[in-house]
Chain A
Amino acid sequence: MDVFRRLRKFYRPYMGQLYASLFMLALSTALSLVYPYLLKLIIDQVILQHQYNELLLLIAGILVAALIKGVFNFGQQYMGQVFGIHTSYDLRNTLYKQLNRQSFSYYDEVHTGDLMSRLTADLDAFRQFLAFGFNSIVNFVLLVVFGLAMMVSLNPILTVCVVVLMPVLAFIAVRFDNHLWPAYQKVRRTLGQLNTAVQENIMGVRTVKSFAKEDFETDKFQQRNDSYYESNIRTAGLWNKYFPYMEFIGNLEVAIVLLVGGYFVMHGMMKLGDLVAFFSILWFITVPMSQLGYLLNNWTQSVAAGERLLDILDADNSVTSISNAYTGKSNGSVEFVHVGLSHGTSEILHDIHFSVYAGQTVALLGVTGSGKSSLVNLIPRFYDAADGQVLVGGVDVRNWDLQSLRKEIGVVFQESFLFSTTIFANIAYGNPEATFEDVQKAALLANADEFISQLPNGYRTLVGERGIGLSGGQKQRLALARAILVNPKILVLDDATSAVDMETEYMIHQALDHVMKGRTTFVIAHRISSLKRADLILVLDDGRIVQRGRHEELLREPGLYRVIYDMQFRDQEDFSDLHSMAQGS
């Protein structure tokens, strides 16, 4: 119940709809009992006592009751659904908002698939309970209470005969659903596995065909297909095991009522009309009884689903703006003051200390995992440093308003991500109001305009999941154009040209020299040629700055920079020999 209390703010505004729904439900359930009652009167008074003049009135009563009941029934269903969908609408908006503001460290821990299943299956399970799960439980109680009351009023002994079997039915129903639920879970899981197998196979079809592993893959697929088949058959097995019993108990009750009731009627202890009415009420309570298991499971599952939603809603987020945060502009200077960062027990950055004037270029060099990305991620406050301070424009990033800070910075990530929309909208992601000319200019600077213009739909081309496939280098150039377009004071290029060929990288860096004027730029790259013109080169090893200086200075001293330089240029020297040879000949 605690879950419902904690999620109250989402459904409270719509409680009126729930009350309306419950009110109509009660009326419609009550009206259900009118039919058996009128049926009894028709048989007892009209047919057996020949009061034919009452017939029209009685059947009119049946029709009117059915009509009114229909209206209420519609109303209770509709209002219940509306209550559920409105609540889930608000909940979904809030979840979306929350997720778009969570810190990067949150996303380092969670899996997309897990989040998605919460946002889809769990949200829907919760909605369903609000929409009809709760109503169904109320309905169940009402039917059993009203139904029993009417049965007792018709004939208490016959009622006892029937009621004895009810617990058996309820027991089987609950047991059935308790087994059915995990079986359906299994079906979903095996379907998911089958889906993954097919998806990977198709995406990796080139690899499969390259190794001529079609038969191997087909075998793998058939195994998964078999387990999906078996989980379905097992579920059907449960139906096969339980359902006939539930049906049989319902039928047995009919036989008992016929036998005992018939005996009573014969001996004048009960009227024929009462017996017929009794029959029709019987179904009122046997049907919901056989659904009892489903109702209870629906409830427990919605509680579990609600908890998983609360996990998202209540997740900590330490990276938020303080009150009275700085919302101004920056000149672009960046300063790291004895910054440390750790993840769990491992230290990622240790005592990082440097400062950059506005407009300078900083290059970072080091092997994978040396902490380059972690360092630049502190500038837009994607993470908070554990020790020390990061200052942008002289203001501690934690005192900046988060949105204002990030608007000052353009970031190109290592993995370039494109959204499902036009190339234009992807470039304009950070500046949706940009003119076509601005976007094209940014694309030109990122060396992307040429390939975009060659696409049949140009800037209108759809990219992303279901759009056309672009090469890694093309995606990177679009991401670069996106960063250029926001016209940031600080530009962060995290290995932004790793997937383009050397020639393109060269051209991009030529163009960037122009873009970088007046901006503070952080560049992470592996080719010395891309870093050598930087005002400050930081060489990182194991989270520490091991060397710093300009290209010429670093070349003069022994150290990692020289080693890397030598490795990259060894080939080059061979070539320059050949080159001069060729020139000489």
Chain B
Amino acid sequence: MSAKEEAKELRVPFIYKDDEDLEKPFQWAQFRRLFQYVYEFPKLTTGAFTFNILGSLLALIVPYMIGVTIDKAIGHHSLSFLIELAVILIALYIGKFWMTRLSIRFTNYLGQSVIRRLRNQLFSHVQALSFDFFDQRPAGSVLVRIMNDVNSLQDLFTNGVVSSITNLLTLLGIIIIMLVLNVRLALLSMVVIPFMFFLSTRLRVSIRRSWQQVRRRLSRINSHLNESIQGVRVTEAYVRQDENQVFFEEMNADYLGQFRRATGLSAIFGPVVDVTGSLGTVLLFWYGVHLLMLGQVTVGLLVAFANYLGNFWTPISQLGQLYNQVLVAMASSERIFEYLDTKPGVIDGENASALSPIVGKVEFNQVEFAYDKDHKALSGVSMMVQPGESVALVGHTGAGKSTVINLLARFYEPTAGRILIDSQDISLVQLQTLREQIGIVLQDTFIFSGTIMENIRFGRPDASDEEVIQAAKAVYANDFIMHLEDGYQTQVRERGSRLSMGQRQLLSFARAILADPKILILDEATASIDTHTEHIIQLGLKNLLQGRTSFVVAHRLSTIRDADQILVFKDGRIMERGDHASLMEKPGYYRELVEAQYRYMA
């Protein structure tokens, strides 16, 4: 890249990444795997195929009947035969009515059931994956898999698969009937088939691709609009309206251009199909009338042929659509299967036993960990923590504090050494039973949409309202909650953005105390909060830690000072340990840290 290009890239006002591949070439193995989901619903599948095929068979008879009517009834002036035929026709139509009903019903049940199952499977699989999976990709891309990729298969399953097999049979049926009726006329009429196939596959592919381009551009526009609204205060404060307008209008014009292209291509499609159809009709009449002169065909047959010719297009068109759907499905199913084939990094061993209710003794025995091969995040970490003791983990960012926490909750497995809770190796117990007994308060509290009550209850879904309120009171969150417009029933919108940082922390304390774990892990927030709230948080924290073994990644001196054990980390090792008084007595890293803090505050 030239220096000029680099400089340009640096200054791009906004950058929006497009979605991944939208289509992939056909692959048998993958297609078969996708089809497994259809086989899981044998009754629905059988029903859908049966009624679809019966329905199209009925439809196939009609043009022939009309031909017969013209020739035999009208041509021979037989009123009784005409009535007979009309009655049969109506009976056929009634049959068709029921087939349409049943096939709509079965096809949709089948398609929706497949999609539902696939999505449930994908979600629960992703849910079981470990942190390393989520560390590697932005939340947005996981969301796109579960929502958009599964949705893009919806068309294929609700409509594509069943109707295309039906259509293939219909097409075959038409060809056979025509051949039986008159071979030469049939062959001539079929001259247009290849052309129609070409239109419905190739032209359709380019039409679809050009619309994909349109959608990509639209989704960039929408990303930008969304971001502009969220960041509008910054834009106004920094008077960026004019530059942004230029950028947006360019984006919008790009979309306009693509749209015109795609809409032009699409508008060609219909007329070309019509003209092709007319060409077929013209050939039919030209040659048909010729045969009629020779007495080889009748008027009724000619009309029937014209009708069949008209029926060509629908199945061919839908087969072309299927071709397109399959290309799209290949790309999305590949990504879905990639997720389904990902194994969680932390899983229960075969003989994992349930962790019986613990008292909270924790032991680290020469624990070592590396996130990747070259960089050890922890080495030779040992500690012994008695039930009810509090441990403060101190040190700079990247020193290993968070890793200790992640290993204790078994979000990752140590690369060497053992971690024991109540003398049981945690790598040998069932994950669920371990985490249920450990409470974790993260630095930035995640607020789910819903009421305050529901958010606290997340800690223990079967807790009564009264218990939730008790928990909130215990960490001094009740006061601010009662000041909200609807108290505990207040809906928190847009991920709790209306709540202050301190309020969010109090909520997470309430959540944790409700879960009532024997071991508590707390990543103390670095944020500075107004002194009054800060004071409340300290009080809440005291209650929360009461009677639990606790590990706190601490930033506040008061929290550190009260700890039973202080572990000072540097470069993945424990440098110093002891309580506050003993650590202050000797010169060292900890004392320097405290003295520095003092300097900042003074």
A and B, one complex? yes
Contact A252 B442 (CB under 8 A): no
The B9-40 residues at the A interface (CB cut-off 8 A) are 9-17
- Interface magnitude class on chain A: 35 or more
From A264, which residue of chain B is reached at the shortest CB distance? B74
Tell whether A430 is near chain B: CB-to-CB under 8 Å. Answer: yes
Q: Contact flags (1/0) for B135-162 with A, using CB distance below 8 Å?
A: 0001110110011000000000000000
Chain B residues with CB under 8 A of A218: 123-124, 127
Bound complex: CA A93 to CA B527 (Å):
40
- A59 near B442: Cβ-Cβ < 8 Å: no
Given contacts A199-B143, A262-B74, contact A85 B259 (CB under 8 A): yes
Q: For residue B18, give the distance in angstroms from its CB to the closest CB of chain A.
A: 10
Q: List residues 486-539 of chain B with CB under 8 A from any CB of chain A.
A: 493-495, 497, 500-502, 511, 515, 526-535
Q: Does B597 contact A (CB under 8 A)?
A: yes
Complex Cα–Cα for A442 and B446 (A)? 32
Contact B527 A499 (CB under 8 A): yes
Contact with B along A224-257 (1 / 0, CB 8 A): 0110110011001101100111011001101100
Q: Which of B185-193, B197-205, B241-249 contacts A (4 or more CB under 8 A)?
A: B241-249
Contact A86 B256, beta carbon cutoff 8 Å:
yes
B459: Cβ under 8 A from any A Cβ: yes
Partner among A248, A254, A503 whose Cβ is within 8 Å of the Cβ of B600? A503
Contact present for A526 and B528 (CB under 8 Å):
yes
A263 at the interface (CB under 8 A from B): yes
Contact with B along A455-499 (1 / 0, CB 8 A): 000011010111001001100000000100010000000000111
How far is the CB of A205 from the nearest CB of chain B, in Å? Answer: 5
Q: Considering the chains assembled together, what is the distance between the CA atoms of A466 and B13 in angstroms?
A: 15
A contact residues around B448 at 8 Å (CB): 200, 204
Contact A266 B131 (CB under 8 A): no
Which residue on chain B has the smallest CB distance to residue A59? B282
Per the bound structure, the CA–CA distance linking A262 and B555 in Å amounts to 94
B49 touches A (CB below 8 Å): no
Contacts of B6 in A (CB 8 A): 460
Please tell me which one of the listed residues A66, A81, A194, A245 contacts residue B275 in the complex, with CB atoms under 8 A apart.
A66
Chain A nearest CB from B231 CB (Å) reads 4
Known: A263-B79, A502-B597. A526 touches B493 (CB 8 A): no
Q: Are A116 and B225 in contact (CB under 8 A)?
A: yes
A527 at the interface (CB under 8 A from B): yes
A210 proximal to B (CB < 8 A) = yes
Give the chain A neighbours of B83 by CB distance below 8 A. Answer: 259
User: Cβ of A96 and Cβ of B271 under 8 Å apart?
Assistant: no
Q: Is A572 engaged at the interface, CB distance under 8 Å to the other chain?
A: yes
A406 and B239 CA atoms in complex are apart in Å by 7
Q: How far is the CB of B100 from chain A (nearest CB, A)?
A: 4
A100/B530 in contact, CB under 8 A: no
| Chain A residue contacts of B275, Cβ below 8 A | 66-67, 70
When the two chains form their complex, are residues B602 and A529 in contact, meaning their CB atoms are under 8 A apart? yes
Is there a chain B Cβ closer than 8 Å to A581's Cβ?
Answer: yes
Query: Given contacts A73-B270, A266-B82, is CB(A466)–CB(B236) below 8 Å?
Result: no
A481 CA / B551 CA spacing, docked (Å): 35
Given A205-B134, A236-B104, A258-B89, does the pair A99, B229 have CB atoms closer than 8 Å? yes
Cβ contact of A425, chosen from B10, B127, B241, B279, cutoff 8 A: B10
Contacts of A262 in B (CB 8 A): 69-70, 73-74, 82, 86
Beta-carbon contact of A62 and B282 below 8 Å: yes
A501 x B249 contact (CB < 8 A): no
Choose from A43, A71, A120, A575 the contact partner of B271 (Cβ within 8 Å). Answer: A71
Instruction: Evaluate whether A89 and B252 lie within 8 angstroms (CB atoms) in the complex, with A203-B139, A258-B66, A575-B557 already known.
Output: yes
Comparing A172-180, A303-311, A334-342, A409-417, the segment that makes contact with chain B is A409-417
Whether A403 sits at the interface, judged by CB under 8 Å, is yes
Checking B77, B259, B289 against A47 with a beta-carbon cut-off of 8 angstroms, the contacting residue is B289
Q: Quick one: closest A residue to B86, CB to CB?
A: A259
Answer whether residue B223 sits at the interface, using C-beta atoms and an 8 A cutoff.
yes
Q: Which of B15, B66, B233 contacts A420 (CB 8 A)?
A: B15
Contact, CB under 8 Å: B293 / A52: yes
Which residues in window 416-447 of B have CB below 8 A to A?
Answer: 431-432, 434-436, 438-440, 442, 444-446
Contacts of B124 on A, CB cut-off 8 Å? Answer: 218, 221
Which chain A residues (526-585) contact chain B, with CB distance < 8 Å? 526-529, 564, 567-569, 571-572, 574-576, 578-579, 581-582, 585
Q: Does A69 contact B (CB under 8 A)?
A: yes
Residue of A nearest to B14 (CB): A421
Contact (Cβ within 8 A) A74 B10:
no
List the one stretch of B105-113, B165-173, B326-334, B361-369 in contact with chain A: B105-113
Question: A409 to B233, alpha carbons, bound, how many Å?
Answer: 13
Q: Are A567 and B142 in contact (CB under 8 A)?
A: no
Does A157 sit at the interface, judged by CB under 8 A?
A: no
Q: Which residues of A contact B446 (CB under 8 A)?
A: 200, 203-204, 206-207
Asked if A368 is an interface residue, CB under 8 A from chain B, the answer is yes
27 A-B pairs with C-beta separation under 8 A: A63-B282, A66-B278, A70-B271, A73-B267, A77-B267, A89-B256, A101-B241, A112-B226, A200-B448, A206-B442, A207-B458, A211-B435, A212-B435, A229-B116, A240-B105, A258-B82, A262-B69, A366-B530, A421-B13, A421-B14, A460-B10, A465-B140, A502-B597, A525-B528, A564-B531, A582-B584, A585-B585
Taking A73-B274, A107-B233, A111-B493 as given, write out 5 further A-B residue pairs in contact, using a Cβ cutoff of 8 Å, ordered by the A residue number.
A203-B139, A214-B432, A266-B82, A432-B243, A499-B527
